[in-house]
Amino acid sequence: MLPPLLDELKAIRTLSIVGMCKNAGKTTVLNRLIEWLDGRVLGLTSIGRDGESTDVVTGTEKPGIFVPEGTLFATAKDMLPLCDVTQEIVCATGVPTPLGEVIVVRARSAGFVQLAGPSITSQLKTLSALFFSLGAQQVLIDGALGRKSLGARSVADGVILCTGASYDMRMEKVVADTANICRILNLKKAETLPKETDLPLADALKTAHEAQISGALTDSMLLPLLKSGALKNARLVVQDPSRVLLSADTFDKLALRGVTLETVDAARLVCVTVNPVSAYGWTFDPDTFKAAVQCAVHVPVINVKEAIA
């Protein structure tokens, strides 16, 4: 890894890892981060389950999560017998999951762990604060498919986006959709907020040319307004990047009509990792894939299958 990027990652207090798809390389990235941040007390958790040897959804093999002695991790109670570290139970969080209450544990020996943490953003924020109060120097959150809200600054100070061949067998599709997600994660933070209104979006834009949207922003919401000409030279503000569910084509049309998108709670995309090997039997040329993604995004791109020093 380039030293400037490693230095930047070390300076980020809470870092989330978000995958474009299953088997994009999130667990590999998490293990790499644990290696790179050797010597620091880390706090680890996951939205969804991670660390199992076989993916419970796809049936494919997965790497385990290896932690050094002293690591703090939060996982569901039913996962504790599957962790082979010597465990110091620090506290129960009161957060329920289908696999039992989330428990905070300190590893008193090095070994493999399985993570299954909170699924709600507010719970993650509380858990991160708890990790820091217990001595963690940095918190790593292993994200889940489609949870772009993990990139919001209210949850994490930085986000790593993981993409890979498992997303689609067409490389151009993977690159295009990755670039679109990066564009969403890089939306500007709103300096001022439009006044809240109960009016339909089209009516609100007639007078103010700006609007704050409480829910999701979708193609079906905006395309009729674009077609009618009601959406032009306007400013739309959403809560965080997870609320933006727009295709690249709709994004481009908004830009052509002078429409800007902003977020109340912006994200900070640090880098993109690429996995050229699909869990479903196909592979991309590693150099071609990495170069194509790098041309499409404005942050460093790393191949998770490469040996990174």
Residue 21 has a pLDDT of 87
Same domain, 143 and 288: yes
pLDDT at residue 94 is higher than 90 = yes
Instruction: Check if the beta carbon of residue 41 is closer than 8 Å to that of residue 139.
Output: no
pLDDT at residue 168 is higher than 60 = yes
Same domain, 134 and 97: yes
Instruction: Check if the beta carbon of residue 68 is closer than 8 Å to that of residue 110.
Output: yes
Residue 44 has a pLDDT of 96
In eight-state DSSP terms, residue 291 is H
Show the beta-strand stretches assigned E in the chain.
14-19, 42-46, 49-50, 65-67, 72-76, 87-92, 102-107, 111-113, 115-116, 138-142, 158-164, 188-189, 210-212, 217-218, 235-238, 244-245, 260-263, 269-275, 301-303
Same domain, 179 and 235: no
In eight-state DSSP terms, residue 281 is S
Residue 158 lies in a domain: yes
Q: How many domains does the chain have?
A: 2
Residue 47 has a pLDDT of 82
CA distances to 95, 137, 180 from 48, in Å: 14, 23, 24
Whole-angstrom distance, CA of residue 12 vs CA of residue 33: 12
pLDDT at residue 241 is higher than 80 = yes
In eight-state DSSP terms, residue 267 is B
* pLDDT band, very low/low/confident/very high, at 191 (cuts 50, 70, 90): very high
Same domain, 25 and 162: yes
Q: What is the DSSP string of 108-135?
A: SS-EEE-EE---SHHHHHHHHHHHHHTT
Same domain, 22 and 84: yes
| 70 or 121, which is more confident | 70
Residue 153 has a pLDDT of 60
Same domain, 55 and 192: no
Q: Which residue has the tokens 């708890």?
A: 130
Please write the tens of the pLDDT for every residue from 254-278.
Answer: 999 999 999 998 888 999 999 999 9
Distance of CA 17 to the CA centre of its chain: 5
Residue 146 has a pLDDT of 55
Residue 281 has a pLDDT of 92
* pLDDT band, very low/low/confident/very high, at 308 (cuts 50, 70, 90): very low
Residue 309 lies in a domain: no
Residue 34 lies in a domain: yes
Q: Which of 76-90, 136-150, 165-179, 244-258 has the lowest mean pLDDT?
A: 136-150
Residue 139 lies in a domain: yes
20: its two tokens: 């474009």
Same domain, 245 and 284: no
* pLDDT band, very low/low/confident/very high, at 61 (cuts 50, 70, 90): low
Whole-angstrom distance, CA of residue 255 vs CA of residue 46: 35
Same domain, 116 and 145: yes
Range of the domain at 276: 3-184+268-303
What is the rounded average pLDDT for all residues in the chain?
88
Same domain, 219 and 85: no
Give the contacts of 112 (CB within 8 A, at least 6 positions apart).
51, 64, 65, 66, 67, 83, 84, 85
Instruction: Check if the beta carbon of residue 243 is closer than 8 Å to that of residue 217.
Output: yes
In three-state secondary structure terms, 178 is helix
Residue 84 lies in a domain: yes
Please write the tens of the pLDDT for every residue from 104-159.
Answer: 999 999 999 999 988 788 888 899 999 999 999 999 998 765 544 455 566 788 99
